[in-house]
Amino acid sequence: MASSQTHLPPPSPSPLQANSFRSASKLQENSEIRAVHPLAGRKQQSDEPAKFFLIEEIRKYVRIKPNRLGKQNFMGANGTFTSIGHACFAMKKDIEEYMDYDVGEICKDDWKLAQKLMVHGCDPLPRRRCFARAPQLYSKPFPINESMWKLPDNRNVRWSQYRCKNFICLASNTTRKGFFKCADCFNLSDHESPRWIKQVISDPEMNLTADFLIPEVLNIKPGEIRIGLDFSVGTGTFAARMREFNVTIVSATINLGAPFNEMIALRGLVPLYLTINQRLPFFDNTLDLLHTTRFLDGWIDFVLLDFILYDWDRVLRPGGLLWIDSFFCLKEDLDDYLEAFKMLRYRRHKWIVVPKLDKDDREVFFSAVLEKPPRPFR
């Protein structure tokens, strides 16, 4: 008959043993950090990303630069880690072409290549040590009391990469301009001037519109809306109109077939050259308003839209407004897109869906003004 054995639990470690275990664990953790971060350990440096490229300028750019004094700088870092978008490695030929220049000389006229890299995920781009090209005969911009609603001087834009070669062409209703998202955006007098000030009825029979007016939106939070971001395709008209109500708006866009950034700047407004791939360059809970139109529509992936909306939520302050302006999509996709906006759990001040009449009744417009709720820390 086998003798029964009593299995006792292992003895608890003594305080001395527990401290030893913690020290060993901490030592292993520090070793792992040093393995991941080349400058976490003294005199350690890795140039692995630089070895991937052949052009010397990008190799120099991506190498880690230790601080010259051998200690942490005022930012708490012991080196400088210049960043490039992860897709730059997949676009090796293009990024090497972009970084192939003579140091101290004039850069190539390659902004279109730069934008291609950014749009495809090579964003941020590396800095360059050459001088950006400028228009040959740049003239001083119009004073602010004229520039807001007047076409700029043609000499203040480099036109080599555009189908239109002047602002008159861009403002015309008859020319093929090379872009479609904002075909009338340069027509300041007829198309742009009434926007957000006068109502446009999408469906006259039902008296429905997806357009909200600036005064009615600002009246939701009287005196509280002071600064914000317009993430759209446009020439800055939203910012121009908001300026009349003492609200400062930064306009984020890229140059989709036309000099949108130059136009915004020449009107006396602030352009932000930014793709949808990047995290917004604002700190948490800082903006009063975020407005978007003609950009995030039914083409966008649902997961990407989630990431974007959470980022927008991050920069909006509690009580800030998210203004979704004429988002359009196919009818069958509407519920899925609306769920993405409902996920935010914002307070609804305005919320409307109307037919988009130019697409055989297959598409709809969605507009909303939503308020970010307070979220107490836990």
Nearest to 235 by CA among 265, 208, 274: 265
Shared domain for 120 and 55, answered yes or no, is: yes
What integer pLDDT is reported at residue 64 of this predicted model? 85
Shared domain for 355 and 209, answered yes or no, is: yes
Predicted confidence band at 186 (pLDDT cuts at 50, 70, 90)? very high
Query: Is 200 a member of any domain?
Result: yes
Confidence (pTM): 0.84
The 10s digit of each residue's pLDDT in 69-107 is 888 888 888 888 888 999 999 999 999 999 999 999 999
Question: Where a domain ends, among 106, 133, 160?
Answer: 133
Query: Is 260 a member of any domain?
Result: yes
pLDDT, average across residues 346-373: 91
What integer pLDDT is reported at residue 29 of this predicted model? 46
Structural domain of 69? 47-133
Question: Where a domain ends, among 103, 133, 163?
Answer: 133
Query: Is 176 a member of any domain?
Result: yes
Return the percentage of the chain with pLDDT > 70, whole number. Answer: 85
pLDDT, average across residues 184-197: 94
What integer pLDDT is reported at residue 2 of this predicted model? 45
What integer pLDDT is reported at residue 32 of this predicted model? 44
pLDDT, average across residues 240-244: 98
Shared domain for 252 and 358, answered yes or no, is: yes
Shared domain for 239 and 355, answered yes or no, is: yes
- Please write down the HEC assignment for all residues of 197-259: CCCCCCECCCCECCCCCHHHHHCCCCCCCCEEEEECCCCCHHHHHHHCCCCEEEEEECCCCCC
Shared domain for 292 and 334, answered yes or no, is: yes
Pairwise pLDDT comparison (50 vs 171), residue with the higher score: 171
Measure CA of the first residue to CA of the last residue in the chain; give whole Å.
60
Distance CA 163, CA 94 (A): 23
pLDDT, average across residues 291-312: 94
Predicted confidence band at 1 (pLDDT cuts at 50, 70, 90)? very low
Query: Is 180 a member of any domain?
Result: yes
Mean pLDDT of the residues in the chain:
87
Predicted confidence band at 174 (pLDDT cuts at 50, 70, 90)? confident
The 10s digit of each residue's pLDDT in 100-142 is 999 999 999 999 999 999 999 999 999 999 999 999 999 999 9
Shared domain for 128 and 150, answered yes or no, is: no
Nearest to 157 by CA among 265, 299, 285, 242: 265
Shared domain for 128 and 160, answered yes or no, is: no
Pairwise pLDDT comparison (95 vs 206), residue with the higher score: 95
What integer pLDDT is reported at residue 80 of this predicted model? 85
Query: Is 148 a member of any domain?
Result: yes
Query: Is 101 a member of any domain?
Result: yes
Shared domain for 200 and 74, answered yes or no, is: no
Residues 195, 237 contacting (CB under 8 angstroms): yes
Shared domain for 271 and 237, answered yes or no, is: yes
Query: Is 224 a member of any domain?
Result: yes
Question: Where a domain ends, among 70, 100, 133?
Answer: 133
The 10s digit of each residue's pLDDT in 21-42 is 555 555 454 444 444 444 444 4
Shared domain for 194 and 257, answered yes or no, is: yes
Shared domain for 177 and 125, answered yes or no, is: no
Residue 242 sits in a domain of what CATH number?
3.40.50.150
Residue 301: pLDDT above 50? Answer: yes
Pairwise pLDDT comparison (293 vs 180), residue with the higher score: 293
Shared domain for 95 and 184, answered yes or no, is: no
Query: Is 7 a member of any domain?
Result: no
The type of residue at 369 is: V
Please enumerate in sequence order all residues whose Cβ is within 8 A of that of 198, keeping only pairs 6 or more positions apart, or say none.
Answer: 213
Return the percentage of the chain with pLDDT > 90, whole number. Answer: 68
Tell me how many domains the chain contains.
2
pLDDT, average across residues 181-207: 83
